[in-house]
Amino acid sequence: MIKLRWVVAGLLSLGWFGLLAWSSASCAAGTLRGEVVDADDGRRLPVRLYIQGPQGGWFFARSSSPRGSAVEYRKQRGPNSVEMHTTLSADPFECELPPGAYTLTVERGKEYFPLETQVVVGDEPVQVRLKLQRWINMSQHGWYSGDTHVHRTLEELPNLLLAEDLNVAFPVTWWVTRAFEPPSRGDRNSGSQQATDLVQVDETHVFYPRNTEFEIFTVADRQHMLGAVFVLNHKRVLDFGVPPVAPIAALRTTEPDVLLELDKHNWPWSMALMPLLKVDLFELSNNHVWRTEFAFRNWAEPAPAYMGVAYDGTDAGTESGWIHFGMQNYYALLNCGFDLQPTAGTASGVHPVPLGFGRVYVRLEQGFDYDSWRRGLKQGRSFVTTGPMLLARLNGQDPGYRWRDRRPDEPPQARLVAEVRSAHPLSRIEIVRNGEVIETFKPQSAWAEGRGYTCQVEHTSRVEGSCWYVARCYESLPDGRTRFAHTAPWHFEVPGRPLRPRKVEIDYLIERVAAQIDRSRDLLPAEALGEYERALAAYRDLARDAR
Structural domains of the chain ordered from first start: 4-132 (2.60.40.1120), 144-370+524-547 (3.20.20), 387-499 (2.60.40.10)
User: What does the alpha-carbon distance between residue 544 and residue 15 come to, in Å, rounded to a whole number?
Assistant: 68
Least confidently predicted of 9-18, 25-34, 249-258, 288-297: 9-18
User: What is the separation, in whole angstroms, between the first and last Cα of the chain?
Assistant: 44
- Number of residues that make up the chain: 547
* Backbone φ/ψ region at 380: left (φ over 0), alpha (ψ -120 to 50), beta: left
Residue 374: its pLDDT value, please? 98
Percentage of the chain lying above the pLDDT 70 cut: 92
- Judge whether residue 94 has pLDDT over 80: yes
- Judge whether residue 18 has pLDDT over 80: no
Would you say 356 and 166 are in contact if contact means Cβ atoms under 8 Å apart?
yes
Average pLDDT over residues 135-150: 98
Would you say 386 and 285 are in contact if contact means Cβ atoms under 8 Å apart?
yes
- Judge whether residue 205 has pLDDT over 60: yes
The Cα-based distances of 75 to 72, 228, 354, 384 in angstroms read 10, 22, 10, 24
User: What does the alpha-carbon distance between residue 483 and residue 68 come to, in Å, rounded to a whole number?
Assistant: 32
Residue 302: its pLDDT value, please? 87
What are the pLDDT digits (tens) for 261-310?
999 999 999 999 999 999 999 999 999 999 999 998 877 888 999 999 87
Closest C-alpha among 167, 173, 304, 289 to residue 230: 173
Least confidently predicted of 43-57, 182-196, 219-233: 182-196
What is the β-pairing status of strands 70-77 and 205-207?
Answer: unpaired
Write the single-letter amino acid at 229: V
The Cα-based distances of 333 to 136, 281, 399, 491, 539 in angstroms read 33, 12, 18, 14, 10
DSSP, res 306: G
Would you say 6 and 113 are in contact if contact means Cβ atoms under 8 Å apart?
yes
Would you say 499 and 404 are in contact if contact means Cβ atoms under 8 Å apart?
no
| Burial degree of 495 (CB within 10 A; 0-12, 13-18, 19+) | exposed
pLDDT band at 43 (very low <50, low <70, confident <90, very high): very high
Q: Helix, strand, or coil here: 329?
A: helix
- Judge whether residue 20 has pLDDT over 50: no
Residue 507: its pLDDT value, please? 98
The Cα-based distances of 178 to 188, 241, 270, 399 in angstroms read 10, 8, 17, 38
- Judge whether residue 1 has pLDDT over 60: no
Residue 408: its pLDDT value, please? 65
Average pLDDT over residues 196-206: 96
In angstroms and rounded to an integer, the radius of gyration of the C-alpha atoms of the chain is 24
Mean pLDDT value across the chain: 91
Helix%, strand%, coil% for the chain, nearest 5: 20, 35, 45
- Judge whether residue 16 has pLDDT over 60: no
Phi, psi of 177 (to 5 degrees): -115, 5
The Cα-based distances of 347 to 26, 102, 280 in angstroms read 41, 29, 18
Average pLDDT over residues 167-183: 97
Q: Helix, strand, or coil here: 376?
A: helix
What are the pLDDT digits (tens) for 143-158?
999 999 999 999 999 9
User: What does the alpha-carbon distance between residue 115 and residue 38 come to, in Å, rounded to a whole number?
Assistant: 12
- Judge whether residue 12 has pLDDT over 70: no
Average pLDDT over residues 468-495: 95
Q: Is the pTM of this model over 0.95?
A: no
Q: Does residue 318 or residue 420 have the better pLDDT?
A: 420
Residue 194: its pLDDT value, please? 73
Would you say 290 and 271 are in contact if contact means Cβ atoms under 8 Å apart?
no
Q: Helix, strand, or coil here: 8?
A: helix
- Judge whether residue 24 has pLDDT over 90: no
Cα dihedral 482, 416, 395, 489, rounded to 10, equals: -40
Residue 314: its pLDDT value, please? 64
